A and B are shown apart, each in its own frame.
Chain A
C-alpha cells in the first residue's frame, strides 16, 4: 500500500545525472526540460551538500520548454539550445539530459545528439526523466551514457598507464564528502603502486573518462557502482572488486590486500604501506583513549545514511572503536536484490548485537525509529538534528542533505577518514551540552 513520504532525501534521476556531469571538468550539461528542473537541482541537491555549491545560481544550460514545445514537440528548441550552448560555453563534451515532460512527449533526443555530432560537436545524451527513478538511477544513466557513447566521439588512441583502477559508486553531492573520499581512496591505491582513475572532482576531465576502458580493475564502493562495473566487464572484460561500503579505517587494509592478491602487486610494498597507515591510526586511537573512557564514548548510536556510508562507517565504529550499533537506517532506497546483499553485509559486522536495521527515505519513519532506539549519539543527515536536539544527545551530520556544515576536502574514507571521523564525532560528543553539564 502506498504511504506518504516526508522529506525524501533522494532527488530524481535528472538530478543524479546532472550531479555526475557537473563533477567532470569541461563537461557541459544541457537540460531539455522545463525551467524548474535546473533550479530544483540547485535548490534541492547542490545547495544542500556541504556548502560548496556554485556561486550565485546554477550555470546550467536548459531548453526551458513551454507549453508549445510540449504540444508540438521540443526537438527544435533543443536543437537551438544546443547550438547556442556550444557557441557560448566552451566544453570538451556536451551532455543532454532530459526531464519528465520532454520524455512524456517523446522528443527524439538521440537524433538531436546525432545532429550535433554531425557538426563535429562532442555531444552525448542520457534519457533521465525523473519518473525513471531517483538520483541513484540518474547516476547510472549518466555513467552508462559516457561508457557507451564516448568511444563514438573520441576516436584517438589513449596511452593508458599500467595499473589504472576506475572507482565507481560515489555519487557527487549525494555523498557530501565525495571529493575527499575519492582523494583518500586514490591515496590508498597509490600507496600500493596503482594509479587511481577518480573520474570525478578537481582535474578530472574527459581525459580521465577516455582511459576507463584501459583500466585493469573497477573498484566498486557502493551498490550503485555495480552497473558501471558490469557494463565495463561486458564491453572490455575489466574485472571488479566490490566493497558495498566505504573502506574506513582498517577495512582499507583488507581492500589493499585484496587488490594486491588479485592484481599480483608487490606484497612487501603493500604491507609496508598498511603498517605505516595502521600504526598512525593506532597512535591516534591511543591518544584518544583517555577522553574515550572519561567522556563515555562507548555508547549506543544511530546511524542514518546511504548504504555505503552505513556499512563503511558503521563497521569502523563497531569493530575498531567499540561503539554499540543501536539503529542503522539506510536511505538510498536500493532495489530488493541489493537490500538482501546490504542486510547480509551488515549482519557480518553486527554479530550478537540486537540492532534495528531499516531501509527508509521517509523522514517521519526515520525519526520514529531513531527516537524509539533512544541512542546516546546520532550520526545522520542535517535532518536528524531535530531528533538529536529533542533527545538531547550528541549529533554529527555526515550524510545528505548536509546543510549545516562546510565540506571542502573532508573525508571519512580510508585511514585518514577514520581519524577525521573520530575528531568530528568526538567533538560532537564533547560539545554536547549534556556532557558539559555533567563535567561541570
Chain B
C-alpha cells in the first residue's frame, strides 16, 4: 500500500441527523481555505455530496462497477464546489443485497484506482451511514483507512444511541490500528438544554464536543438551492460555524479511544436527563438550587 495522502476523516451519525450537510460544509470550508479535499459518501442513499455539486447526478462507484468491467476515476467522480472531488460509493436498493459489503467493494476499488495517490488530497472525508449496523459500515474506521472519526449528534436520544454505537466500534477497532475518535459535532442545537446534554454524554464517554451547530434556516435554504452554506451564504454566522469546525479538524489532531456506555448505563443516563428536562420545563425548583 502506498503512503497515505492527507488526513482521512470519517464522519458518522444517525440517519437524517445532518451528517451529509455537516460533512459537505466542512469539505467546502476546507476547500475554501485552499486545501485539496475528497468527500466520499458511504451511504446507499448516495446523496452525500449533492450540495457540493449543485444537485447534479453522479454515477455511484457500485453502479458503475456493476455496468462496466473497467472503471476509471472520471466515471465515478465529479469536481464540486472549491474543487472538492466528490465520490459516492452507492449501494443496493433498500431491502436487497448487502450495503455493508458494497462499502467494502467501493473502498477497495478506490484503492485500486490509486485515487489518493493521483489526487494528492490534503483531506479525505468519509460520510458514513449512521448506526454501524454491520462490519461493512466499519470499513472506513478499520484497517487504518481513516485516522479519526467524528460523530454528528443532536440531543435526541436515538442520535446519542447511534453515537454510542459508533464509540463501541471505535473502541473495538482502534487498539488494532483503526481510527480513533476526534470528537462529537453537536448538530441541530435548538433547545436550551441541548449543549449541556451532549456535553454530559461526551464527558461520560471520555470525549468532547468540537463544535455546536445551531439549527438554522440558512442551511435549509442553501440546501434547497443545492448548495452548501459556505457557497450560498458565505458571510452568514452559520458559515462561520462550519469554518470553525473545519479549522478545528485542520489544526487539531487530538483523538481518544472512547468509553461507550453499556445498555443499562445509557438507559439510566437518559432517564436522568428525562427527569431534568421535565423539571426545567415544568419549573420544579429544588431545595438549595440557585435560580
Q: Which residues of A contact B (CB under 8 A)?
A: 67-75, 104-106
Is B170 an interface residue when CB atoms closer than 8 A count as contact? no
B residues 44-98 near A (Cβ < 8 Å) are 62, 65-66, 91-93, 96-98
Measured in the bound complex, the distance between the Cα atoms of B99 and A105 in whole Å is 9
What B residues does A105 contact at CB under 8 A? Answer: 97-98, 101
1/0 per residue, CB under 8 A from A, across B101-143: the answer is 1100100000000000000000000000000000000000000
Shortest A254–chain B CB gap in Å is 53
Q: Is the interface of A mostly helix, strand, loop or mixed?
A: helix
Shortest B136–chain A CB gap in Å is 9
Which chain B residue shows the least CB distance to A74? B97
Interface residue from B65, B93, B96, B99 paired with A68 (Cβ < 8 Å): B65
Taking a contact as CB atoms under 8 Å apart, the answer to whether B97 and A72 are in contact is yes
Taking a contact as CB atoms under 8 Å apart, the answer to whether A67 and B96 are in contact is no
Interface size bucket, B side?
A: 10 to 19
Measured in the bound complex, the distance between the Cα atoms of B172 and A118 in whole Å is 48
Measured in the bound complex, the distance between the Cα atoms of B99 and A106 in whole Å is 12
Measured in the bound complex, the distance between the Cα atoms of B101 and A73 in whole Å is 11
What A residues does B101 contact at CB under 8 A? Answer: 67, 70-71, 105
Known: A68-B65, A68-B66. A73 touches B96 (CB 8 A): yes
Taking a contact as CB atoms under 8 Å apart, the answer to whether B97 and A73 are in contact is yes
Measured in the bound complex, the distance between the Cα atoms of B92 and A293 in whole Å is 73
Measured in the bound complex, the distance between the Cα atoms of B61 and A72 in whole Å is 13
What A residues does B92 contact at CB under 8 A? Answer: 71-73
Measured in the bound complex, the distance between the Cα atoms of B206 and A291 in whole Å is 81
Which chain A residue shows the least CB distance to B65? A68
Shortest A68–chain B CB gap in Å is 5
Shortest A76–chain B CB gap in Å is 10
Other A-B pairs beyond A70-B97, A71-B99, A72-B62, 17, CB < 8 Å = A67-B101, A67-B105, A68-B62, A70-B98, A71-B66, A71-B101, A71-B102, A71-B105, A72-B92, A72-B96, A72-B97, A72-B102, A73-B92, A73-B97, A73-B98, A105-B98, A106-B98
Interface pairs A-B: 5 shortest CB-CB:
A73-B96, A73-B97, A71-B102, A72-B97, A72-B92
What B residues does A67 contact at CB under 8 A? Answer: 101, 105
Measured in the bound complex, the distance between the Cα atoms of B107 and A67 in whole Å is 13
Shortest B64–chain A CB gap in Å is 11
Measured in the bound complex, the distance between the Cα atoms of B98 and A73 in whole Å is 7
User: Can you list 29 A-B contacts with CB-CB less than 8 angstroms, sorted by A residue number?
Assistant: A68-B62, A68-B65, A68-B66, A69-B97, A70-B98, A71-B62, A71-B66, A71-B91, A71-B97, A71-B98, A71-B99, A71-B101, A71-B102, A71-B105, A72-B62, A72-B66, A72-B93, A72-B96, A72-B97, A72-B102, A73-B92, A73-B96, A73-B97, A74-B97, A75-B96, A104-B98, A105-B97, A105-B98, A105-B101
What B residues does A68 contact at CB under 8 A? Answer: 62, 65-66
Shortest A279–chain B CB gap in Å is 65
Shortest A253–chain B CB gap in Å is 57
Which chain B residue shows the least CB distance to A108? B96
Measured in the bound complex, the distance between the Cα atoms of B96 and A357 in whole Å is 48
Which chain B residue shows the least CB distance to A104? B98
What B residues does A71 contact at CB under 8 A? Answer: 62, 66, 91-92, 97-99, 101-102, 105
What B residues does A69 contact at CB under 8 A? Answer: 97
Which chain A residue shows the least CB distance to B97? A73
Which chain A residue shows the least CB distance to B106? A71
Which chain A residue shows the least CB distance to B63? A72
Measured in the bound complex, the distance between the Cα atoms of B98 and A65 in whole Å is 13
Shortest A4–chain B CB gap in Å is 22
B residues 236-286 near A (Cβ < 8 Å) are none
What B residues does A75 contact at CB under 8 A? Answer: 96
Shortest B46–chain A CB gap in Å is 13
Which chain B residue shows the least CB distance to A67? B105
Shortest A290–chain B CB gap in Å is 68
Measured in the bound complex, the distance between the Cα atoms of B96 and A75 in whole Å is 9
Shortest A72–chain B CB gap in Å is 4
Which chain B residue shows the least CB distance to A75? B96
Shortest A10–chain B CB gap in Å is 27
Shortest B108–chain A CB gap in Å is 9
What B residues does A106 contact at CB under 8 A? Answer: 98
Measured in the bound complex, the distance between the Cα atoms of B99 and A292 in whole Å is 67
Instruction: Choose among A75, A104, A105 the residue with the greatest number of B CB atoms under 10 Å from its CB.
Output: A105
Shortest B75–chain A CB gap in Å is 16
Shortest B69–chain A CB gap in Å is 11
Measured in the bound complex, the distance between the Cα atoms of B98 and A75 in whole Å is 12
Shortest A142–chain B CB gap in Å is 26
What A residues does B97 contact at CB under 8 A? Answer: 69-74, 105
What A residues does B99 contact at CB under 8 A? Answer: 71
